[in-house]
Amino acid sequence: MMATKFSLVGGLSPKNPAGDGCREVLPGVHLVELPLPLTLGSINVYLVRLADGYVLIDCGMDTEASFQALARAMEAARAGWRDIHEILLTHVHPDHMGLAPRLLELTGARLSMHAHDAEYLRDLTQTERHLAWADGVMREAGVPGEIIAKIRGSSSEIHKHFHNLKPDRVLQGGEKIAAAVGELEVLWTPGHSPGHVCLYGRERRVLFAGDQMLEHISPNIGWLPDRDPLGEFLDSLRDLERLEVELILPSHGAPFSGHREWIRKTIAHHAERCARILALLDGASRSAAEVVDELWERTLTPFHYRFAVFKVLAHLEYLERQGKVAHIAGDPIVRWRMT
Ligand SMILES: [Zn+2]
Ligand SMILES: [Zn+2]
Protein backbone atom coordinates (compact mmCIF):
# COMPACT_ATOMS: atom_id res chain seq x y z
CA MET A 1 0.00 0.00 0.00
CA MET A 2 2.69 2.46 0.99
CA ALA A 3 6.27 1.88 0.01
CA THR A 4 7.61 4.58 2.29
CA LYS A 5 9.64 4.13 5.43
CA PHE A 6 6.43 4.52 7.40
CA SER A 7 4.89 1.75 5.39
CA LEU A 8 1.47 0.64 6.51
CA VAL A 9 1.79 -2.59 4.66
CA GLY A 10 4.52 -4.38 2.84
CA GLY A 11 4.73 -7.32 0.51
CA LEU A 12 2.72 -10.02 2.12
CA SER A 13 0.45 -12.87 1.55
CA PRO A 14 0.24 -16.18 3.36
CA LYS A 15 -0.98 -17.76 0.12
CA ASN A 16 -2.71 -21.01 0.79
CA PRO A 17 -2.42 -24.02 -1.49
CA ALA A 18 -4.60 -23.53 -4.56
CA GLY A 19 -8.29 -23.91 -3.85
CA ASP A 20 -7.78 -24.14 -0.11
CA GLY A 21 -8.61 -20.97 1.77
CA CYS A 22 -8.25 -22.62 5.10
CA ARG A 23 -5.44 -24.46 6.85
CA GLU A 24 -5.06 -25.87 10.31
CA VAL A 25 -2.01 -24.12 11.77
CA LEU A 26 -2.40 -25.87 15.13
CA PRO A 27 -4.80 -28.66 16.09
CA GLY A 28 -8.20 -26.96 16.20
CA VAL A 29 -6.93 -23.60 14.89
CA HIS A 30 -7.88 -22.82 11.30
CA LEU A 31 -6.28 -19.86 9.56
CA VAL A 32 -8.72 -18.57 6.96
CA GLU A 33 -7.39 -16.05 4.46
CA LEU A 34 -10.07 -13.73 3.12
CA PRO A 35 -9.64 -11.28 0.23
CA LEU A 36 -9.81 -7.52 0.87
CA PRO A 37 -10.71 -4.83 -1.64
CA LEU A 38 -7.73 -2.89 -0.29
CA THR A 39 -4.10 -2.82 -1.35
CA LEU A 40 -3.53 -4.71 1.89
CA GLY A 41 -4.69 -7.75 -0.12
CA SER A 42 -6.05 -10.11 2.48
CA ILE A 43 -6.88 -10.69 6.11
CA ASN A 44 -6.51 -13.82 8.22
CA VAL A 45 -9.42 -14.72 10.42
CA TYR A 46 -9.12 -17.67 12.80
CA LEU A 47 -11.66 -20.35 13.43
CA VAL A 48 -10.72 -21.82 16.81
CA ARG A 49 -12.31 -24.96 18.22
CA LEU A 50 -13.76 -24.82 21.72
CA ALA A 51 -14.94 -27.75 23.84
CA ASP A 52 -18.26 -27.10 22.15
CA GLY A 53 -18.32 -25.24 18.85
CA TYR A 54 -15.98 -22.51 17.68
CA VAL A 55 -14.91 -18.97 18.32
CA LEU A 56 -14.25 -16.91 15.19
CA ILE A 57 -11.52 -14.34 15.69
CA ASP A 58 -12.31 -11.41 13.36
CA CYS A 59 -14.65 -11.44 10.39
CA GLY A 60 -13.17 -9.94 7.24
CA MET A 61 -14.65 -7.11 5.23
CA ASP A 62 -18.27 -6.96 4.14
CA THR A 63 -17.81 -8.05 0.54
CA GLU A 64 -19.41 -11.01 -1.20
CA ALA A 65 -15.94 -12.35 -2.13
CA SER A 66 -14.95 -12.37 1.53
CA PHE A 67 -18.18 -14.03 2.60
CA GLN A 68 -17.88 -16.76 -0.05
CA ALA A 69 -14.25 -17.43 0.89
CA LEU A 70 -15.28 -17.83 4.52
CA ALA A 71 -18.18 -20.11 3.56
CA ARG A 72 -15.80 -22.34 1.58
CA ALA A 73 -13.37 -22.47 4.49
CA MET A 74 -16.15 -23.43 6.89
CA GLU A 75 -17.04 -26.27 4.61
CA ALA A 76 -13.42 -27.40 4.44
CA ALA A 77 -13.27 -27.33 8.26
CA ARG A 78 -16.61 -29.24 8.32
CA ALA A 79 -18.13 -26.54 10.50
CA GLY A 80 -21.63 -25.11 10.15
CA TRP A 81 -22.54 -21.49 10.79
CA ARG A 82 -24.40 -22.38 13.98
CA ASP A 83 -21.24 -24.03 15.30
CA ILE A 84 -19.73 -20.57 15.76
CA HIS A 85 -20.72 -19.62 19.30
CA GLU A 86 -18.62 -16.51 19.68
CA ILE A 87 -17.28 -13.84 17.33
CA LEU A 88 -14.41 -11.99 18.91
CA LEU A 89 -13.05 -8.85 17.28
CA THR A 90 -9.41 -7.99 17.90
CA HIS A 91 -10.49 -4.44 17.01
CA VAL A 92 -13.17 -2.64 15.04
CA HIS A 93 -11.38 -1.68 11.81
CA PRO A 94 -13.53 -2.42 8.74
CA ASP A 95 -11.33 -5.29 7.52
CA HIS A 96 -11.87 -7.03 10.88
CA MET A 97 -15.52 -6.28 11.63
CA GLY A 98 -17.17 -5.61 8.25
CA LEU A 99 -18.86 -9.01 7.90
CA ALA A 100 -19.89 -9.15 11.57
CA PRO A 101 -23.57 -8.14 11.13
CA ARG A 102 -24.15 -10.81 8.48
CA LEU A 103 -22.26 -13.48 10.44
CA LEU A 104 -24.01 -12.65 13.71
CA GLU A 105 -27.32 -13.25 12.01
CA LEU A 106 -26.22 -16.54 10.46
CA THR A 107 -24.50 -17.94 13.51
CA GLY A 108 -26.49 -16.57 16.44
CA ALA A 109 -23.07 -16.14 18.10
CA ARG A 110 -22.35 -13.68 20.86
CA LEU A 111 -20.16 -10.74 19.90
CA SER A 112 -17.14 -9.84 22.01
CA MET A 113 -14.96 -6.74 21.77
CA HIS A 114 -12.99 -4.59 24.17
CA ALA A 115 -14.80 -1.79 26.02
CA HIS A 116 -12.61 0.91 24.46
CA ASP A 117 -13.26 -0.29 20.92
CA ALA A 118 -16.99 -0.52 21.62
CA GLU A 119 -16.84 3.15 22.57
CA TYR A 120 -14.58 3.98 19.61
CA LEU A 121 -17.05 2.24 17.28
CA ARG A 122 -19.95 4.31 18.64
CA ASP A 123 -17.95 7.40 17.71
CA LEU A 124 -16.93 6.10 14.26
CA THR A 125 -20.50 5.23 13.34
CA GLN A 126 -21.68 8.80 13.94
CA THR A 127 -20.20 9.35 10.52
CA GLU A 128 -20.92 13.03 9.86
CA ARG A 129 -19.78 14.04 13.32
CA HIS A 130 -16.65 11.93 13.09
CA LEU A 131 -15.69 13.21 9.63
CA ALA A 132 -16.24 16.84 10.71
CA TRP A 133 -14.02 16.20 13.72
CA ALA A 134 -11.30 14.71 11.48
CA ASP A 135 -11.54 17.73 9.15
CA GLY A 136 -10.97 19.98 12.16
CA VAL A 137 -7.92 17.97 13.25
CA MET A 138 -6.45 18.29 9.77
CA ARG A 139 -7.15 22.03 9.58
CA GLU A 140 -5.28 22.46 12.87
CA ALA A 141 -2.49 20.28 11.48
CA GLY A 142 -2.12 22.74 8.61
CA VAL A 143 -3.50 20.55 5.82
CA PRO A 144 -4.71 22.73 2.93
CA GLY A 145 -8.49 22.91 2.41
CA GLU A 146 -8.45 21.28 -1.04
CA ILE A 147 -6.60 18.24 0.33
CA ILE A 148 -9.01 18.01 3.27
CA ALA A 149 -11.90 17.90 0.78
CA LYS A 150 -10.25 15.04 -1.11
CA ILE A 151 -9.53 13.14 2.10
CA ARG A 152 -13.17 13.55 3.09
CA GLY A 153 -14.15 11.75 -0.14
CA SER A 154 -11.98 8.71 0.54
CA SER A 155 -12.88 8.62 4.26
CA SER A 156 -16.63 8.64 3.48
CA GLU A 157 -16.07 5.56 1.34
CA ILE A 158 -14.33 3.67 4.16
CA HIS A 159 -16.91 4.77 6.71
CA LYS A 160 -19.59 2.80 4.87
CA HIS A 161 -17.89 -0.31 6.24
CA PHE A 162 -18.29 0.58 9.91
CA HIS A 163 -21.40 -0.92 11.45
CA ASN A 164 -23.00 0.13 14.67
CA LEU A 165 -22.66 -3.10 16.62
CA LYS A 166 -23.20 -3.58 20.30
CA PRO A 167 -21.11 -6.28 21.95
CA ASP A 168 -22.83 -9.02 23.95
CA ARG A 169 -19.64 -9.36 25.94
CA VAL A 170 -17.49 -6.33 26.71
CA LEU A 171 -13.88 -7.34 27.21
CA GLN A 172 -11.51 -5.64 29.64
CA GLY A 173 -8.51 -7.92 29.22
CA GLY A 174 -7.74 -10.95 31.40
CA GLU A 175 -10.73 -13.03 30.25
CA LYS A 176 -10.01 -16.70 29.54
CA ILE A 177 -11.38 -18.75 26.67
CA ALA A 178 -11.24 -22.53 26.99
CA ALA A 179 -10.13 -23.55 23.49
CA ALA A 180 -9.19 -27.02 22.29
CA VAL A 181 -5.63 -25.73 21.82
CA GLY A 182 -5.52 -24.72 25.52
CA GLU A 183 -6.73 -21.72 27.44
CA LEU A 184 -6.53 -18.42 25.56
CA GLU A 185 -6.13 -15.23 27.57
CA VAL A 186 -7.43 -11.88 26.31
CA LEU A 187 -4.65 -9.27 26.42
CA TRP A 188 -5.54 -5.61 26.06
CA THR A 189 -2.93 -4.14 23.70
CA PRO A 190 -3.98 -0.55 22.91
CA GLY A 191 -2.26 1.61 20.31
CA HIS A 192 -3.36 0.52 16.84
CA SER A 193 -6.88 1.03 18.17
CA PRO A 194 -7.84 1.98 21.72
CA GLY A 195 -9.39 -1.39 22.49
CA HIS A 196 -7.18 -3.69 20.44
CA VAL A 197 -6.80 -7.16 21.95
CA CYS A 198 -4.52 -10.11 21.35
CA LEU A 199 -5.17 -13.68 22.53
CA TYR A 200 -2.40 -15.61 24.20
CA GLY A 201 -2.22 -19.37 24.55
CA ARG A 202 0.35 -20.10 27.22
CA GLU A 203 0.29 -23.85 26.73
CA ARG A 204 1.16 -23.73 23.01
CA ARG A 205 3.05 -20.41 23.28
CA VAL A 206 0.87 -18.96 20.57
CA LEU A 207 -0.19 -15.34 20.13
CA PHE A 208 -3.19 -14.30 18.03
CA ALA A 209 -1.74 -10.88 17.34
CA GLY A 210 -4.44 -9.01 15.40
CA ASP A 211 -2.81 -5.95 13.83
CA GLN A 212 -0.48 -5.49 16.80
CA MET A 213 2.33 -7.49 15.19
CA LEU A 214 2.59 -8.01 11.44
CA GLU A 215 5.77 -9.51 10.10
CA HIS A 216 6.78 -6.96 7.48
CA ILE A 217 4.64 -4.05 8.54
CA SER A 218 4.83 -1.45 11.22
CA PRO A 219 1.20 -1.21 12.42
CA ASN A 220 -0.45 2.13 11.86
CA ILE A 221 -0.62 4.21 15.02
CA GLY A 222 -2.92 7.20 14.62
CA TRP A 223 -3.59 10.04 17.02
CA LEU A 224 -6.81 10.09 19.08
CA PRO A 225 -7.90 12.80 21.50
CA ASP A 226 -7.06 12.43 25.20
CA ARG A 227 -4.84 9.45 24.52
CA ASP A 228 -1.22 8.70 23.84
CA PRO A 229 -1.60 5.95 21.22
CA LEU A 230 2.11 5.62 20.50
CA GLY A 231 3.02 5.49 24.20
CA GLU A 232 0.27 2.92 24.77
CA PHE A 233 1.45 0.84 21.80
CA LEU A 234 5.07 0.82 23.00
CA ASP A 235 3.97 -0.12 26.53
CA SER A 236 1.83 -2.97 25.22
CA LEU A 237 4.79 -4.24 23.18
CA ARG A 238 6.92 -4.25 26.33
CA ASP A 239 4.23 -6.36 28.02
CA LEU A 240 4.20 -8.81 25.11
CA GLU A 241 7.99 -9.01 25.12
CA ARG A 242 7.85 -10.74 28.51
CA LEU A 243 5.67 -13.59 27.22
CA GLU A 244 7.02 -16.82 25.84
CA VAL A 245 5.82 -16.93 22.24
CA GLU A 246 6.77 -19.45 19.59
CA LEU A 247 4.11 -18.74 16.99
CA ILE A 248 2.64 -15.37 16.10
CA LEU A 249 -0.66 -15.59 14.21
CA PRO A 250 -1.16 -12.15 12.68
CA SER A 251 -4.19 -10.68 10.94
CA HIS A 252 -2.26 -9.94 7.77
CA GLY A 253 0.57 -11.96 6.27
CA ALA A 254 2.04 -15.30 7.17
CA PRO A 255 2.45 -16.66 10.70
CA PHE A 256 5.93 -15.97 12.02
CA SER A 257 8.10 -16.20 15.08
CA GLY A 258 10.72 -14.08 16.80
CA HIS A 259 8.47 -11.69 18.71
CA ARG A 260 11.28 -10.19 20.79
CA GLU A 261 13.32 -9.30 17.74
CA TRP A 262 10.22 -7.85 16.04
CA ILE A 263 9.45 -5.77 19.14
CA ARG A 264 13.02 -4.48 19.35
CA LYS A 265 12.95 -3.47 15.68
CA THR A 266 9.57 -1.79 16.02
CA ILE A 267 10.54 0.18 19.12
CA ALA A 268 13.72 1.27 17.28
CA HIS A 269 11.66 2.27 14.24
CA HIS A 270 9.53 4.61 16.34
CA ALA A 271 12.56 5.98 18.17
CA GLU A 272 14.12 6.80 14.81
CA ARG A 273 10.87 8.44 13.67
CA CYS A 274 10.82 10.54 16.84
CA ALA A 275 14.46 11.53 16.31
CA ARG A 276 13.71 12.64 12.73
CA ILE A 277 10.76 14.69 13.88
CA LEU A 278 12.85 16.30 16.64
CA ALA A 279 15.55 17.15 14.09
CA LEU A 280 12.91 18.84 11.91
CA LEU A 281 11.75 20.94 14.85
CA ASP A 282 15.27 21.91 15.86
CA GLY A 283 15.42 25.66 15.36
CA ALA A 284 12.10 25.92 13.54
CA SER A 285 8.48 25.48 14.54
CA ARG A 286 6.40 23.48 12.10
CA SER A 287 2.86 22.32 11.64
CA ALA A 288 2.16 18.59 11.57
CA ALA A 289 1.46 18.85 7.81
CA GLU A 290 4.89 20.42 7.27
CA VAL A 291 6.44 17.49 9.16
CA VAL A 292 4.50 15.06 6.93
CA ASP A 293 5.79 16.81 3.80
CA GLU A 294 9.38 16.51 5.05
CA LEU A 295 9.10 12.86 6.10
CA TRP A 296 7.36 11.38 3.08
CA GLU A 297 9.38 11.52 -0.05
CA ARG A 298 6.61 10.83 -2.49
CA THR A 299 3.17 12.17 -3.10
CA LEU A 300 0.64 10.40 -0.93
CA THR A 301 -2.91 9.60 -2.00
CA PRO A 302 -5.54 11.46 0.08
CA PHE A 303 -6.23 8.20 1.94
CA HIS A 304 -2.58 7.75 2.88
CA TYR A 305 -2.06 11.43 3.55
CA ARG A 306 -4.70 11.24 6.26
CA PHE A 307 -2.90 8.27 7.86
CA ALA A 308 0.38 10.17 7.67
CA VAL A 309 -1.05 13.24 9.43
CA PHE A 310 -2.56 11.19 12.26
CA LYS A 311 0.64 9.17 12.54
CA VAL A 312 2.78 12.30 12.88
CA LEU A 313 0.32 13.69 15.42
CA ALA A 314 0.64 10.48 17.46
CA HIS A 315 4.41 10.93 17.51
CA LEU A 316 4.10 14.62 18.44
CA GLU A 317 1.68 13.79 21.26
CA TYR A 318 4.10 11.17 22.55
CA LEU A 319 7.04 13.59 22.39
CA GLU A 320 5.03 16.30 24.11
CA ARG A 321 4.15 13.94 26.97
CA GLN A 322 7.88 13.19 27.24
CA GLY A 323 8.52 16.94 27.55
CA LYS A 324 10.53 17.05 24.33
CA VAL A 325 8.23 19.20 22.19
CA ALA A 326 5.47 21.70 22.86
CA HIS A 327 2.60 22.86 20.70
CA ILE A 328 1.91 26.49 20.01
CA ALA A 329 -1.82 27.09 19.70
CA GLY A 330 -2.75 29.09 16.64
CA ASP A 331 -5.86 29.95 14.70
CA PRO A 332 -6.40 27.63 12.99
CA ILE A 333 -2.94 26.05 12.62
CA VAL A 334 -1.14 24.50 15.58
CA ARG A 335 2.64 24.56 15.32
CA TRP A 336 5.18 22.46 17.18
CA ARG A 337 8.57 23.38 18.57
CA MET A 338 11.31 21.71 20.55
CA THR A 339 11.37 22.51 24.24
ZN1 LIG B 1 -6.42 -2.46 12.02
ZN1 LIG C 1 -6.17 -5.13 9.79
Residues that place a CB less than 5 A from ion ligand 2: 95, 211, 251
Ligand number nearest CA of 219 is 1
| Distant-in-sequence, close-in-space partners of 267: CB < 8 Å, separation ≥ 6 | 234, 237
Nearest to 196 by CA among 181, 209, 178: 209
CA 42 to ligand 2 center in whole angstroms: 9
CA 338 to ligand 1 center in whole angstroms: 31
Q: How confident is the model at residue 40 (pLDDT cuts 50, 70, 90)?
A: confident
Report the pLDDT value the prediction gives residue 17, as an integer from 0 to 100: 40
Give dist(CA 329, CA 333) in Å, integer: 7
Ligand number nearest CA of 61 is 2
CA 95 to ligand 1 center in whole angstroms: 7
- pTM, to two decimals: 0.92
74-105: pLDDT as tens digits = 999 999 999 999 999 999 999 999 999 999 99
Give dist(CA 187, CA 177) in Å, integer: 12
Residues 288-297: contacts with CB under 8 Å, at least 24 apart: 288/141, 288/142, 288/312, 288/313, 288/316, 288/334, 288/336, 289/138, 289/141, 289/142, 289/143, 289/144, 290/142, 291/316, 291/336, 295/5, 295/6, 296/4, 296/6, 297/4
CA 250 to ligand 2 center in whole angstroms: 9
Question: What is the torsional sign of CA 253, 256, 260, 264?
Answer: negative
CA 220 to ligand 1 center in whole angstroms: 8
Could you give the count of Cα atoms lying within 13 Å of 32 in the half-sphere of its Cβ? 27
DSSP notation for 99-140: THHHHHHHH--EEEEEHHHHHHHHHHTSHHHHHHHHHHHHHH
- Least confident range from 11-25, 34-48, 271-285: namely 11-25
CA 298 to ligand 1 center in whole angstroms: 24
Nearest to 55 by CA among 184, 214, 167, 192: 184
Report the pLDDT value the prediction gives residue 9, as an integer from 0 to 100: 32
Ligand number nearest CA of 193 is 1
